[in-house]
Structure 1
Amino acid sequence: MVKKRSLLFIGLFAAFTIANVSAQNKQEVYSWNNLPKIQSPVFKTDTFNIVKFGAVPDGITLNTKSINAAIAACNAKGGGVVLIPGGLWSTGPVELKSNVNLHIVRDAILQFTDDFSQYPLVEGNWEGLPQMRNQSPLYANNAENIAVTGSGIVDGNGNAWRMVKKDKLTESQWKKLVASGGVVGEDQRTWYPSEETLKGSKLKNPGAISPEKDAAFFASIKDFLRPNLLVFSNCKKVLLEGVTFQNSPAWCLHPILCTDLTVKNVYAKNPWYAQNGDGIDVESCRNVLIENSTFDVGDDGICIKSGRDEAGRKRGVPTENLIARNNVVYHAHGGFVIGSEMSGGARNLFVSDCSFIGTDIGLRFKTTRGRGGVVEKIFAKNINMKDITGEAILFDMYYMAQDPIALAGEKRTNPKVQLYPVTEATPVFREFTISDITCNGASKAVFVRGLPEMSISNISFENMVIKSEKGIDLQEAKNISFKNIHLISASSQPLVNVQNTSDLKVDKLQFSSAETLFKISGIKSKNLLVSNTDTNKAKSKTEFADDASNKSLTIK
């Protein structure tokens, strides 16, 4: 009898477990009609004014102790609001603690000091790797229920930290910068704020933590180890709302390993030439909402990351369940970006109703060999773009850690194509759905470039109108579909270039004219189907090269 009851219990437990796992898996299947849910923090109304803790708004007094004391007191009493009232508040690093809402009013500027001695060296994370860095001006570790709200300004004094390339300034701007102090590199093309910064720039990965590097070494290059303006690490229920975050030493906003993150109505602002001046980098976070925000920065606008190479794969935490909607991105290397540090993967990302104006690239998905990681189940719709310098939509597995647009006089060559074995370090891009895209002005409409050993696969493009110099370029891809695409291209090059790409479907492609409609090259190009397309508008319908078979393409 006991044995029968035990077997019955085991059977019921197994059934429950299977049902529970099935329910969890079901919850992970998201769509536009079933978006991820993000929890928001809730705070007590108790208010702690930093003035009562001795803060002085004269722009000179260093208020670090006063502001942190107010936050500590608020936290100790169960939480509430720490008020930054009107004024210019100079400060060193500020640590946010659980249950605290740091509220910055409209006429308040929280100005972080340019006295580098106020920022101790700490173990942190930089571009997906464990690194020694200067303490971030605004930071939180392992906190829960935290926020930075209001409509004031957080200024990171980034101009004191950043190196600047001469080619990104006018002649008068360059002369003024050089006259301000600092040092110019041997090539006379880059300005550095200090000798320490210049020294660090000459070393390979100098911030990496390793046994042979002692405190004296890191101290000798301290100025080079620029902090991100805001770093929240391992935090839960985070809100950033209404505030302007500007002038960051490196990245502007960097949540890492956070859960339930809401970013709304913020303005991330950096000079267009700000090196590594990203807007927001969401790294290995789960359940994220970014909405109604504006980004005008020196590097990527809204960027998704999850660690770099072996360190990222070992961490193994993807960025997942993210919604980015109703955002505007002005200058940036990319409007919405994934990579290149995506070794932990990314999935279930929903991007909609965004405008990209003057960005280098619109939708930018980048990686390279060595990263590994799987990026999948990415959805983008209702994206409007204008004056895009490079590609409107780009997938590239040959990222080379360079600005996407070459500077004046800079020479670049295409990467050498070689076949490598597939390993855990081979990145994967698959299952993207992109629809309802309008772009008025770009260098190229769509560029997809996979690896010979790992094609970019299962990408759907639908309902797009793109005015660009060049059309569509597909290399090392498979199972790609285009439906209802209108290309307005001025180039005499092939409107659609297909290289080593298989299982391509093009349905209802509209264009005004073309010298050559399709150029097919490479022995791997096969199963290419074109339907509902008036090919007579092209002077030449097809061109085959590099062992491509003329049977690889069917036009119905």
Structure 2
Amino acid sequence: MLFASLASAQCPAEIEPIKAPFDMPQLQRPVFPARKVVIKKGQNIQAAIDKLAKKGGGTVIVPKGKWHTGRIILKSNICLQVDEGAELCFSGDVKDYLPVVPCRNEGVDIYGPGAMIYADGAENIAVVGKGKLVAPSRDCELLKLTMAGIPEAVQAMPLKERVFDGTIPTDRYGFETRTPKTMQTSAGERHLGTLCLPVFFGPMNSRNVLLEGVTLEGSIFWNIVPVYCENIIIRGVTVSSAGIARTDGIDIDSSRNALIEYTTLDCGDDCFTLKAGRGMDGLLKARPTENVVIRHCTAKRGAGGLTVGSETAAGIRNVYMYDVTIENPKYGIYFKTRRPRGGGGENLWFENVRMVHPKTRAVYWDMLGSATYVGKLAERFNKDNNPKLTPYFRNIHFDGFTVEHCTDFVKAIGLPESPVENVTFKNVSSPECTRVTLQDVGKFVIEAK
């Protein structure tokens, strides 16, 4: 059995055939016109992209050296190549991410800075190479204006009014901003405005997306976040943001047909993450995340090695993770949602997964959440939730599952009205990890080797 800690260092040039227990297309890299532009000192990268896009596309090459830029917006048929030895350093100034663009934050559609590398409605786009994408420093202006989170009330507002650009007073939304040092809600401090932080790489509404070879370093927020996208390939990528709050590795959000392989994530929050919108906002969008294959990868430090949720409104289905090593997470595999989030996850397969020293438990389902966020809806027998927003988890299967250095193997907390249903573990090896806690579950089978 070849585990990912070995495999991730040997990313082959070609993409091997994709095998999955569901219908999955054989994804291919996008092909670009032969035109090439090499960035020179003093040249604006965005201007070079725009000019090349008008000619029909091609490759913009960032050569060895240190290069500074604001937000980059990819256009159709554009490949951004960051060569080995190149460092693409992104600004931390708010003005470099304006005007605001359509984006999604914590499962809710809004207008904000979008992403450091952004696209909207593009087809055939890529960021490739052996260079580095470097986030701004922790004392940047972006973090000084960051918000504490998207309030539930925002979902009731017209989309055009959901503007988070750092200029609108916080009391419009009824919440405080976070201080940049602690990243915690502070009743004693109120900044001038509210800002939705840009993710690192965040295409929207795009098809045929490739991210390959690059290293993402020191993110200030989520790293790789395709939203409403189709045909996504992420391979040979390294994310290095351990110890930095709110820095998910890869969030596949309301997107379909995604391949993630030979990738290593070392994060301050969840590593591999699957999302599909939040509450009524996501339910009405009805854009599930589906057909996702994660193989030959390593998840290192993070809250969850792989997390399904907590934004699950449109549903997460048809996921196959195999030949993956998860090292030192808080939770190895984490299924989380809450009553008002809606949707859920189904038809999820995990095969040949090795987990080393999960700090809390190896596999965890939590459908109740916390009263801090959902109030009385976190009570086990509460019946106040809109039935349309009752989540589910079902048809989840593990085969060839090894856990080392852990006490709690499984904790599953479902809902009385929606139990965790049809879960199977086969060929389990967890000699030190035996504790199982189940509440509100249906069929739940664990078979050792």
TM-score by length of 2: 0.83
Contact conserved, 2:259 with 2:294, CA < 8 A, in 1? yes
Is the alpha carbon distance of 1:349 and 1:469 closer, same or farther for their aligned partners in structure 2, counting shifts above 3 Å? closer
Q: 2:210 aligns with which of 230, 236, 239?
A: 239
1-side partners of 2:116 and 2:141: how far apart?
A: 15
Deviations 1:211-246 (A, max 9, x none): 788885269655643211111001000000000112
2:274 maps to 1:295: no
Classify 1:245/1:221 alpha carbon distance in 2 versus 1 (closer, same or farther; 3 Å).
farther
Q: Within 2, Cα distance between the matches of 1:465 and 1:73?
A: 56
**Range that drifts further, 378-387 or 439-448:** 439-448
Contact 1:391 1:445 in 2 (8 A): yes
Partners of 2:324 and 2:352 within 8 A in 1 = yes
CA distance in 2, matches of 1:81, 1:299: 33
Residue 157 of structure 1 aligns with which residue?
A: 136
For residue 130 of structure 1, what is the aligned residue in structure 2? 109
Say yes or no: does 1:250 pair with 2:185.
no
Question: 1:368 & 1:204 partners in 2: Cα distance?
Answer: 15
Residue 162 of structure 1, CA deviation: 9.4
Task: Return the alpha-carbon distance in structure 1 between the equivalents of residues 149 and 272 of structure 2.
Answer: 29
> Which residue of 1 is the match for residue 299 of structure 2?
329
Contact 1:44 1:80 in 2 (8 A): yes
How has the CA–CA distance of structure 1 residues 360 and 157 changed in structure 2, closer, same or farther, with 3 Å as cutoff?
same
Structure 2 letter corresponding to 1:118:
D
Question: In the alignment, which residue of structure 2 is the partner of 1:147?
Answer: 126
Determine helix, strand or coil for the equivalent of 1:477.
coil
The unaligned stretches of length 5 or more in structure 1 are 1-29, 57-62, 164-192, 404-414, 486-556
What is the CA-CA distance between 1:207 and the residue it aligns to? 7.4
What is the CA-CA distance between 1:161 and the residue it aligns to? 5.0
C-alpha distance in structure 2 between counterparts of 1:134 and 1:34, whole Å = 36
Structure in which a larger fraction of residues adopt helix? 1
Please state how far the C-alpha of 1:341 moved relative to its aligned partner. Answer: 0.2
Structure 2 counterpart of 1:128, one-letter code: G
Supply the AA of the counterpart residue of 2:82.
I
- 1:417 equivalent to 2:406? Answer no
Q: Which stretch has the larger CA shift, 234-243 or 36-45? A: 36-45
Structure 2 unpaired stretches of 5+? 1-18, 171-190
Is the 8 Å Cα contact of residues 103 and 204 (structure 2) preserved in structure 1?
no
Identify which of 25, 36, 41 aligns with 2:30.
41
Please report how far the alpha carbon of residue 248 of structure 1 lies from its aligned counterpart in structure 2 after TM superposition: 1.8
- Residues 289, 452 of structure 1: CA spacing in aligned structure 2 closer, same or farther, 3 A cutoff? same
Cα–Cα, structure 1 residues 132 and 322, in superposed 2: closer, same or farther, change >3 Å?
same
Q: What is the distance in 2 between the residues matched to 1:111 and 1:238?
A: 22
CA contact (8 A) 1:161 1:226 kept: no
The answer to whether the 8 A contact 1:365-1:395 is kept is yes
Residues 147, 123 of structure 1: CA spacing in aligned structure 2 closer, same or farther, 3 A cutoff? closer
**8 Å Cα contact 1:442-1:467 kept in structure 2:** no
CA distance in 1, matches of 2:239, 2:162: 35
Q: Which residue matches 1:177?
A: none
Inter-partner Cα distance in structure 1 for 2:332 and 2:238: 19
Deviation for aligned residue 1:282:
0.5
TM-score with structure 1 setting the length: 0.68
Q: Is 1:449 aligned to residue 427 of structure 2?
A: no
In structure 1, the residue matched to 2:240 is 269
1:209 to partner: Cα distance: 8.5
* 2:90 aligned residue: 112
Report the counterpart of residue 73 of structure 1 in structure 2. 51
Letter matched to residue 377 of structure 1: N
Q: Distance in 2 between matches of 1:296 and 1:345?
A: 26
CA shift, 1:323, in A, is 0.3
How far, CA to CA, are the matches of 2:289 and 2:258 in structure 1? Answer: 9
Q: Aligned to 2:39, which of 50, 56, 59? A: 50
Deviations 1:182-217 (A, max 9, x none): xxxxxxxxxxx54x44xx449956977847888852
2:186 corresponds to: none
Q: Say if 2:105 and 2:150, in contact at 8 Å, map to a contact too.
A: no
Aligned to 2:435: 471
Alignment RMSD, CA only? 2.7
Q: 1:285 to 1:218 in 2, by over 3 A?
A: farther
Residues paired across the two proteins, number: 402
Distance 1:79 1:203 in 2: 36
Summarize deviations over 1:31-58 as a string: whole Å, max 9, x none. Answer: 548644324311123211121xxx43xx
Once the two structures are superposed, the pairs formed by residues 380-459 of structure 1 within 5 Å of their partners are 380-400=350-370, 416-420=379-383, 423-459=387-423
Give the partner amino acid of 1:447.
K
1:95-145 deviation per Cα after TM superposition (whole angstroms, max 9, x unaligned) = 111111100001000000122222223442100002342342110010000
Describe the SS at the equivalent of 1:118. Answer: helix
Q: Is the 8 A contact 1:38 1:260 kept in 2?
A: yes
Alpha-carbon distance change, 262 to 422 in structure 1, aligned in 2, over 3 angstroms: same
Q: Which has the larger radius of gyration?
A: 1
Distance in 1 between residues matched to 2:198 and 2:421, nearest whole Å? 37
| Aligned partner of residue 311 in structure 1, secondary structure | helix
Q: Deviations over 1:47-99 (max 9, x none)?
A: 11121xxx43xxxxxx6xx1011111221222211100011001111111111
Q: 1:154 to 1:76 in 2, by over 3 A?
A: same
- Per-residue CA deviation, residues 433-468 of structure 1 (Å, 9 max, x unaligned), is 111011111241011110011111011111111144
Deviation for aligned residue 1:159: 1.8
Cα displacement (A) at 1:472: 1.1
CA distance in structure 2 between the partners assigned to 1:314 and 1:289 by the alignment: 26
User: How much has 1:362 moved relative to structure 2?
Assistant: 1.0
How far apart, in 2, do the equivalents of 1:401 and 1:42 lie?
49
Q: Equivalent residue for 1:85? A: 63
CA deviation after TM superposition for structure 1 residue 299, in Å: 0.5
Match of 1:69, SS state, is helix
Task: From 190, 196, 213, give the equivalent of 1:225.
Answer: 196
Shift of 1:483: 2.0
**Equivalent residue of 1:229, what SS?**
strand
Match of 1:369, SS?
coil
Percent of paired sites with the same residue? 31
Aligned in 2, Cα 1:388/1:97: closer, same or farther, shift over 3 Å? Answer: same
Q: Please, which of 65, 75, 81 is the counterpart of residue 97 of structure 1?
A: 75
Residue in 1 that maps onto 2:4: none
User: Which string of whole-angstrom CA distances, capped at 9 and with x for unpartnered residues, describes residues 512-553 of structure 1?
Assistant: xxxxxxxxxxxxxxxxxxxxxxxxxxxxxxxxxxxxxxxxxx
Secondary structure at 1:253 match in 2: coil
Worse overlay, 212-221 or 329-338: 212-221
The 8 Å contact of residues 366 and 397 in structure 1, kept in 2 or not, is answered as yes
Q: Cα deviations across residues 320-372 of structure 1 (Å, max 9, x unaligned)?
A: 11100011011111111110001010111100000011111111111110111
Q: CA deviation at 1:469?
A: 5.6
Partner AA of 2:205 in structure 1: N
Q: Give, in whole Å, the separation in 2 of the partners of 1:83 and 1:456.
A: 49
The whole-number CA distance in structure 1 between the counterparts of 2:102 and 2:346 is 31
